[in-house]
Structure 1
Amino acid sequence: MLRRLARIIVVYRHSLALVTLFLLVLSFYGMSQLQFESDLSKQLPSDLKAVQDYYTLQNEFGSGGSALVLVRIKGTGSDVVDIRDPRVIKAIYDLEQRFMEREYVTDTFSIADICVQVLGRLPRTIEETKFVLDMLPEDARSSLVSRDYSTTLVVVTLNRESNQEALVRVYKEMLEDIKKAGFPEGVEAVLTGDLGITYRILEMLQADMNRTMAVAGVIVVLILIYFYRSPIRMLVPLIPLTFGVIMTLGFMGLLGIPLDLATSTVGAMIIGMGIDYGVHVTNRYYEERAKGRPPEEAAEEAIAETGKALLGAALTTIAGFLALSLSILPSLRRLSLALVMGLGLTAMNAVIVTPAVAILEEEVGKRLGWRSGGLRLGTSERIKRAFEFLGGAIKRAPWGALLVAGLITGLSIYGFTLVTTEVRLEKMIPTTLPEIEALSDIRSEFGGQDEVVILVKADDVRDPTIVRAIYRFEEAIKADSCLNNVFETESIADVVIEKYGYIPNDKEKIAEVLKGSSLVSDDYSMTTIRLKGNFMGVRQEVFNEIMAYFEEELKNADFPPGVSARLAGEAYLNYVLNNLVNDELNRISTVGTLIVVLVVFAIFKRPTVALAMLMPMFLGALWTIGYMGLAGIPFTQTLAGVVSMVVGLGVDYGMHITHRFLEELREGNRAPIITAMGSVGPAILVGALTTAGGFLSLLTAELTAIHDFGKVLAVGIFSSMLSAYLVTPALLQLEFGRKLGGVENED
C-alpha cells in the first residue's frame, strides 16, 4: 500500500505542489488573524467555581484588575529629597485626576487623597504633609510611604476588558498619563501590578515567538549545511518544513487558537520536530540514488521504505500530544491541537513535497552544472563509521550498554524526588524587569499589595448577624498575620464600625451606611472581604500553605446558616491552577504513555520488538524529569504535558533503529545491528540535533516559562536519543543474538 501511495505521490507531484501552494496562500491570511492571550482565567476551565466567582467579582464589583504606580526618588542627585515634598504630592494628585477620566478606572488611592481629606486641599509645605501623616496610625502610615520617605504608592482599581487590544490600549494610555503628570526631576513613577505584568507577558509572548522561530530556523539551517555539505541540497528537507510551519500558524489563526505561554512555542517546536521527517526521506532518497536508481524510483523507494517508520513515528508522536487534549486545562488542549495539526501538516509536506524538491534539485543542478563528480550521501563517512563502531560494541557487550543506561536511571530517580511546581505568572518573567523590581520594592517597603478576595453570598448581607460574622472572621485572620502574611483587611463590617463604633442590631442602620457602597452588590445578596498582603512574592510551597490556610479558616468560620463564603480573585486562581497542574501532570502522563504503547503494539505485534522501541521513551521521560529535579526547574502549566510530549517524541528513535534492524534481518544480514546503527544512527543524530536545536532556540526567550520549556524538551530529546542508542540495539541483540550467531556458525 505504501509503495502504491509512493508511486502516486511521485507521478502526481506537480499537481500536489499546486494544492500545497494554495494552502500556503490560505495560511498567510490565517497568520494575520493570530491573537495573543495572557489572561489567567482563560487557562482554567470556565465551569470551575473559582473561575465563575472570578467573573462574578468582575461583573458585580468591577474587579477587573489592578495597577500599582510606584513613585520613588531615583538618586542622591535629585532636587527632591523627601517623597512628602508638595511638588510630588501635586504630581500624584494630577496623575490620579488623569486616571479617573479613563472609563476603565473605577478608583484610585494615594497619599494625595489623604492630604485632601484632612486639609481640604493639597499641602503647600512639607510640614503640612508631615502633619497629615502624623495623624495616621503607624500601620496606615507605613502602607503609604516607605520608612526613609523615598517611596510612595498609588493604587489604581480597574474595570477593563482582558482582550489583547484593550489591555495594550489601557497600559499605553496609563503610561502616557504618567509622563504628563509632571513629576519633578529625579522622581520616577513605575507602572506595575497585574496590569504591568500582564502587558509585559503579552509583549514578550509576541517577541519571543518571532525570536525563537528565527533562531530555530538558523540552528536547523546550520546543522543541515554541516551534514549535507551543500547550501542547495539542505533546501530539500528545509522547504517542506517551512511550508509545514507556515501552514500550522496559518491554520491556528483560521481556527481561532490564540498564542499563549504554551502555544507561542509551537513555531520553534515544529521547526525542531518537523525537520526529522524530511531528513529521513531525504537521506533515503540520496542513499538509493547512490545505488544507481533513477530519481523517480529512488523517490518511490524513499517514501515506501521510510514510510512505515515515518508513519509510525508521526502516529506515536501525535498520540503523545493527543493526550494533552484530554486535559481540563484549555491552554494544554490548545497546545495539543496546534502540535497535532503542525506535525500532521509537516509529515504530509515531508512525504509529498520532499521527493518533488529532491528531484527538482537534481534536474536544476544538472542544467546549471553546480554539481561536480558523483552524488554524495547526506552524512559523512566518519560519522557513519562511528555509529557502526558503536553498533559493533553493543553487539559484543549488550549488557554493558544496559548497565550505563541503568546508572543514568538511578541518578534520575533521585532527581525525580526533588521536582516542584510553579504556576504564578509573575514568576515566569525576568526579575530584572522594572515592573518586577517595583513589585519587589512594594513588598519590602509596604508589606505587599497582593489581594485575596472572599466572596460572601446571602439573602441580604446587611443582616447584623452576617456583618458580625464577617468582623469576627477578619479579626481572626489579622490575629494570624504571622502565618498568612495579611497586613490589611477591608469589608462592610469596617465601614459600619467606622460609622457607629460598633455593629448595631438594627438592619436599617446598616443599610443606611452601605447605601451606594461598592462593597455590596446592587441587590445586597453579595459582598466581599478583601485581604491584602504578600502572597505572590513567597515561594510556591508557602503560597500554597497560605491559600490552604484561608480555605480551612473559611470551613471553620462561624457564618450564619444559608451564608456562602468562598475564596475568589486572581491570586486564588493561581492556587487552583497549581492543584490542577499537579493532577493533570499525572493523568496526562499516564494516558499519553498508554496511547503510545497501544499504537506501537498495534504496528509491531511482537512484544520484545515493541519493548525495544518503547524503552527509549520511558527512559527519556524519566531522565528528563530527573534533570528537572536536579536543575531546580519546576513544573508549570506549560510543562504539565512535557512527559507526554517526550514520550511521543522519544519512541521515534527506537522505532527507526528497530525498523531498519528488522529490514536488514529479513534480507539476511548477519550483523543487522551494525548496519542499522551505521545507516539510521546518523539520521537520528541529525534529526535529534535539529529537533533539540528548535527547542534550544526557546532559550533566547525572555519569558522564564518558555525558556525552561525549551531547555527541558531539548534534554528530553537528547535523553531519548541516548537511550535509543544504548538500550534499543542492546535489547534487539539479546532477542535475536542467538539466531544470528547460529547463522554465522553454519558458514
Structure 2
Amino acid sequence: MDLLRKAARIIVRYRVAFALVALFLLIVSAYGIQSLRFESDLSSMLPEGDPAIKDYNALQNEFQSGDSTLIVVKIDSIEPGGVYDVRDPKVIEAIYELEQRLRRREYVTDTMSIADIYMKVLGRLPRSEEEAKFVLDMLPEEQRYSLVSRDYTMTMIVVTINREKKTETLVRVYQGVQEDIESVKFPQNVEVIQTGNIGITYRILQLLQRDLNKTMAISFLLVIALLLYFYRSPVKALIPLIPLVFGVVMTLGFMGLAGIPLDLATTTIGAMLVGMGIDYGIHVTNRYYEERRNGKDVEEAAAEAVAETGKALLGAALTTIAGFAAMYLSSLPMLHNLATTLILGLSLAALNAVVITPAVIILEEDVMMRLKGHHVRPEVRSGTGAIGRFFTSLGEAIKARPGAFLGAVFLITLLFAYGVTQVTTEVRLEKFIPPGMPEIEALMDVRTEFGGQDELYVLVRADDVRNPAVVRAMYRFENLVKADSYYNGVFGSQSPADIVYEKYGYIPNDREKISEALSEYQGPSMVSGDYSMAIIKFTGDFGGTSMDDFRRIMRYFEEETKLAQETQFPPGVELSLTGDLYLNYVLDQLTNVEINRISTYGTVFVVLIVLLLFRRIRVSVAMITPMFLGALWTVGFMGLAGIPFTQSLAGVISMIVGLGVDYGMHLTHRFMEEMNEGNPKPIVTAVGSVGPGILAGALTTAGGFLALLAGELPTIHDFGLTLAFGIFASMTSAYLVTPALLQIFYGKKTGGGSP
C-alpha cells in the first residue's frame, strides 16, 4: 500500500509529464493505425504445421485449384421487352462474352458454362431460341440440369481461380471479376451475381471493415451515455473516458505496427476494449469521489483511490490477462492474435487507469477551483439515491440470510446446466454472412437448382500416377463414391481416370496410352508436372446442410478415402482430402478441441493467480465461485439461445473466466478492508460501496459488447451477445454468491453471525 501511495504522489507531482508521454504514444499509435490490414482467408486460421494445410498448399501450387467463384445468371423479373428464358441467344451471347473477358485475366485458369456446350456441339453460338433448346434437349437429363434450372430461369458460369492467399489478391480478383460482369451488357430482366468461395469471402472482408468502425463508434456512444448518467456531468464523465480513448488508439496502432491483422476474431477488439477498459477507470474514479465525499482533500483522495483500488485492479487485470493468455495454448493463429490484442489493450487500460485517471481528476479539480474559487464536493449517482439504497438493502438482506441467496443461485444453475447440453459448433464461412445477402441467396439457388457446387478434392500421391493400376483404382473409387450420392451429396466428379476413359472407353493397361490421353487433355490440370500427384474432384451439396450433416459427409469421405487407400490402391499410394471445404471441417475439429483446452487452462491460470495474490483459501473461494458460475451460465445461455461456438468464440469461456473474477475480487477486497478496520457490518458496506461501481463497470462493459449487435456479420452478433450475457451473469453471481460466502465464512468473526 505504501508503494501505491508513493506512486499516487508521483502521479500528482508529475501529471503534466505523464500527459505528454501519453500524447507522444498517441501520435505513434495514430501512425500505426494506417498500417492495419484485414484478413479473411480460411487457411490463415489454421496452424501452419497442420497436414491439411500442407495438402491444401499442394492443391494450390500443383493444380491451381481449390479456389473458385460462381457467377449466377438468372431471370429476376418479367417486364415487357426483356427475356424470360436463359436459353435466349442474347443471354448465351452475353455469357460467352463474359467468359472471354474472364479468360484474359491472369488468375483465371478455366471457365465453364452452357455457352461452352454450344461451341462444342455447333462450333458456334445458337442463332435462335429453338436451336438453343434443341441442343440442350439432346443432352442427358442429368447433364442438362447441371447447367440450367428446370424452369430455365437460371444458369451459371463456374470460374476456377489461381491466386495468392492474400487479402489484397482476393480484393483484386473479386473486383476484376465484378468489373468484367459489369462491362458485359446482359438483356433486360437478367441479374448477374458473383458468389461461391471468392464472393462470400470478399463479402465477409467488406463486412469486417464496416463492422469495426460501426461497433466501436456505437460502443463509445453507449459508454458515454452511461457515464453521463452515473456522473451527472459531461466533464466528470470524460475523466474515465480519456484514458480509455488513449488505450484503444494505442492498441489499434500497435496492432498495425506489429502486423497483427483484423480478422473474424480481432475485428471485435475496438468495441471489446471500450467495454472492458472503462471498468478500470470507473473503479479508480468512484473510489476517489467516495474519499472526497468523506472529507479528504484532492491529494489525499487521489492517494487513497490508487492505494486502495490498486491491489484489486492489479489482481483484476492479472486474472483477466491470465484468462486471455490461455488462448496462446491454442493451435489456432487467430486466437493467438486475439489474445495478444486483448492483453495489450487491457494492460494499457489498467496502466492508464492507475496513472492517467488520477492525473486527469486532479487537473479537473484544479480547473474547477480556479473557475469557482473553491473545490466542489462531487456527487455521483451510482453511489447515491435509489441505486445506493438498493445495494445497501441487498447487503443487509445477504447478511441476514446468505443461505437463501445461495439456494436461489443453485436453482438458476440447474436451468443453465441443461442449456450446456444443447451447445453446438459452426465454422462454415457461408454461415457468417447474414441471410438475405445476394451472394448467399444466389448460393442457395445454386444448391437448390443444381444439386450444389461445393468442391471437395482427394489428393493422390504415387511414384507415377500414370500407372494403370493407380488409374483403375481412381476410377473405381470415384464411381463407388458417386454410387452413394443419396448419402454423401455428390453430384458429379472429375479425375484423370475420366479423361482416359473418355478417350478409350476403358482404362488401358498401357502407361503410354494413359500418358497420351492426359497430354491431349485441354481442361484444368488434374496431374502434377512430375506425375507424382493427381486429384479427384467431387462436386455436390456438402456444406449447405446442417452442421451435423456436414460433419457426417466429411467423415464419410475420410473413411472411404482411408479404406480405398488400404484396399483398392497399390501399396505406397497415399490419399488425402483437401480443399476449402475440408479446411472448414478440420477447423471444426480443432475448434471443439480448443474450446475444452483453452477453457480448462484459462480457469487454472486464474485460480492460481488468485491464490498467489491472496493466499487464503476461503477468500479465494469467495472470489472465484462467481467466475465458475458466470462461465457455466454463459455456455448454458448459448445452448438455450441457439448460439454455436465458432472460431472466434472458441476462447469465450476463457475470456468470461478472466473477466468474471474481477467482480468477486472487488467485493472481497473491500470486505476484507472493512473487516480489518473493525467495521461490524463489512458485508453491508462492501456491497453498498463497491456494488454501484461494479454495476457501472458491468453496464459499460456489456454496453461495449452489445455494440457488436450493430455489426452485420452473425458471428459478430453472437460474440457481442455472448460476452454481454457473460458479464451480467458474472456480475449477478458475484452480487449473490461472493457476499453470501463471505458472510458464512466470516459472519461470526464480525459479530453478525450466520444462519
TM-score, length basis structure 2: 0.97
Contact 1:64 1:161 in 2 (8 A): no
Contact 1:286 1:378 in 2 (8 A): no
Aligned match of 2:167: 164
> Residues 524-543 of structure 1: CA distance to partner in whole angstroms, max 9, x if unpaired?
11110000000110111100
Once the two structures are TM-superposed, the CA of residue 420 in structure 1 deviates from its matched residue by 0.5
Q: Structure 1 pair 743/461, CA: closer, same or farther in 2 (3 Å)?
A: closer
Once the two structures are TM-superposed, the CA of residue 9 in structure 1 deviates from its matched residue by 2.4
Once the two structures are TM-superposed, the CA of residue 286 in structure 1 deviates from its matched residue by 1.2
- From 114, 132, 136, the equivalent of 2:135 is 132
Question: Structure 2 matches for 1:167-316, cutoff 5 A?
Answer: 167-316=170-319
- From 630, 638, 661, the equivalent of 1:628 is 638
Amino acid in structure 1 at the alignment position of 2:748:
R
- From 395, 404, 426, the equivalent of 1:422 is 426
- From 354, 359, 369, the equivalent of 1:356 is 359
SS of equivalent residue, structure 2 residue 192:
strand
SS of equivalent residue, structure 1 residue 234:
helix
For residues 19 and 435 of structure 1, the distance between their equivalents in structure 2, rounded to whole angstroms, comes to 48
For residues 252 and 184 of structure 2, the distance between their equivalents in structure 1, rounded to whole angstroms, comes to 42
For residues 752 and 223 of structure 2, the distance between their equivalents in structure 1, rounded to whole angstroms, comes to 44
For residues 124 and 192 of structure 1, the distance between their equivalents in structure 2, rounded to whole angstroms, comes to 29
Question: Structure 2 matches for 1:103-114, cutoff 5 A?
Answer: 103-114=106-117
Aligned match of 1:520: 527
Contact 1:670 1:743 in 2 (8 A): no
Aligned match of 1:102: 105
Aligned match of 1:30: 32
Once the two structures are TM-superposed, the CA of residue 675 in structure 1 deviates from its matched residue by 0.5
Contact 2:108 2:160 in 1 (8 A): yes
For residues 49 and 291 of structure 1, the distance between their equivalents in structure 2, rounded to whole angstroms, comes to 65
* Structure 1 residue 562 corresponds to structure 2 residue 572: yes
Aligned match of 1:606: 616
What's the % identity of the aligned pairs?
63
Contact 2:230 2:696 in 1 (8 A): yes
Question: Structure 2 matches for 1:344-743, cutoff 5 A?
Answer: 344-369=347-372, 374-377=377-380, 379=382, 380-515=384-519, 517=521, 518-557=525-564, 558-741=568-751
Contact 1:620 1:719 in 2 (8 A): yes
Question: Structure 2 matches for 1:30-109, cutoff 5 A?
Answer: 30-63=32-65, 65-77=67-79, 79-109=82-112
- Cα RMSD of the aligned pairs, angstroms, is 1.3
Once the two structures are TM-superposed, the CA of residue 348 in structure 1 deviates from its matched residue by 0.7
For residues 637 and 27 of structure 1, the distance between their equivalents in structure 2, rounded to whole angstroms, comes to 28
For residues 458 and 437 of structure 2, the distance between their equivalents in structure 1, rounded to whole angstroms, comes to 31
> Residues 9-56 of structure 1: CA distance to partner in whole angstroms, max 9, x if unpaired?
222222122111111011001100000000000000011110111111
- Which sits farther off after the overlay, 180-189 or 653-662? 180-189
Once the two structures are TM-superposed, the CA of residue 547 in structure 1 deviates from its matched residue by 0.4
> Residues 492-517 of structure 1: CA distance to partner in whole angstroms, max 9, x if unpaired?
11110100000000100000111165
- Which sits farther off after the overlay, 132-141 or 686-695? 132-141
Contact 1:272 1:693 in 2 (8 A): yes
Contact 2:66 2:580 in 1 (8 A): no
For residues 231 and 728 of structure 2, the distance between their equivalents in structure 1, rounded to whole angstroms, comes to 21
> Residues 327-366 of structure 1: CA distance to partner in whole angstroms, max 9, x if unpaired?
1000001100000000001111111110111111112223
Contact 1:64 1:160 in 2 (8 A): no
Amino acid in structure 2 at the alignment position of 1:172:
Q
Q: Structure 1 pair 372/330, CA: closer, same or farther in 2 (3 Å)?
A: same
How many residue pairs were aligned?
Answer: 744
For residues 417 and 605 of structure 2, the distance between their equivalents in structure 1, rounded to whole angstroms, comes to 24
Extract unaligned runs of 5+ from structure 2.
none
For residues 11 and 645 of structure 1, the distance between their equivalents in structure 2, rounded to whole angstroms, comes to 37
Amino acid in structure 1 at the alignment position of 2:443:
L
Q: Structure 1 pair 48/612, CA: closer, same or farther in 2 (3 Å)?
A: same
For residues 95 and 365 of structure 1, the distance between their equivalents in structure 2, rounded to whole angstroms, comes to 70
SS of equivalent residue, structure 2 residue 234:
coil
- Which sits farther off after the overlay, 71-80 or 278-287? 71-80
TM-score, length basis structure 1: 0.98
For residues 714 and 471 of structure 1, the distance between their equivalents in structure 2, rounded to whole angstroms, comes to 54
Amino acid in structure 2 at the alignment position of 1:11:
R
Contact 2:680 2:752 in 1 (8 A): no
Extract unaligned runs of 5+ from structure 1.
none
For residues 491 and 68 of structure 2, the distance between their equivalents in structure 1, rounded to whole angstroms, comes to 18
Aligned match of 1:325: 328
For residues 729 and 91 of structure 2, the distance between their equivalents in structure 1, rounded to whole angstroms, comes to 58
Amino acid in structure 2 at the alignment position of 1:445:
E
Amino acid in structure 2 at the alignment position of 1:694:
G
Once the two structures are TM-superposed, the CA of residue 268 in structure 1 deviates from its matched residue by 0.5
Aligned match of 1:4: 6
Once the two structures are TM-superposed, the CA of residue 5 in structure 1 deviates from its matched residue by 2.3
SS of equivalent residue, structure 1 residue 469:
helix
Contact 2:460 2:533 in 1 (8 A): yes
> Residues 643-697 of structure 1: CA distance to partner in whole angstroms, max 9, x if unpaired?
1000000000000000000000011100011100110000000000000000000
Amino acid in structure 2 at the alignment position of 1:156:
V
SS of equivalent residue, structure 1 residue 515:
helix
For residues 234 and 635 of structure 1, the distance between their equivalents in structure 2, rounded to whole angstroms, comes to 36
SS of equivalent residue, structure 1 residue 233:
helix
For residues 278 and 449 of structure 1, the distance between their equivalents in structure 2, rounded to whole angstroms, comes to 53
Once the two structures are TM-superposed, the CA of residue 742 in structure 1 deviates from its matched residue by 6.8
For residues 646 and 536 of structure 1, the distance between their equivalents in structure 2, rounded to whole angstroms, comes to 31
Amino acid in structure 2 at the alignment position of 1:195:
I
SS of equivalent residue, structure 2 residue 509:
coil
Q: Structure 1 pair 100/297, CA: closer, same or farther in 2 (3 Å)?
A: same
> Residues 440-483 of structure 1: CA distance to partner in whole angstroms, max 9, x if unpaired?
00000000000000000101100000000000001110110011
SS of equivalent residue, structure 1 residue 693:
helix
- From 15, 18, 32, the equivalent of 2:17 is 15
For residues 106 and 181 of structure 1, the distance between their equivalents in structure 2, rounded to whole angstroms, comes to 20
For residues 538 and 373 of structure 1, the distance between their equivalents in structure 2, rounded to whole angstroms, comes to 65
SS of equivalent residue, structure 2 residue 669:
helix
Q: Structure 1 pair 657/198, CA: closer, same or farther in 2 (3 Å)?
A: same
For residues 158 and 101 of structure 2, the distance between their equivalents in structure 1, rounded to whole angstroms, comes to 14
For residues 5 and 365 of structure 1, the distance between their equivalents in structure 2, rounded to whole angstroms, comes to 24
For residues 497 and 370 of structure 1, the distance between their equivalents in structure 2, rounded to whole angstroms, comes to 97
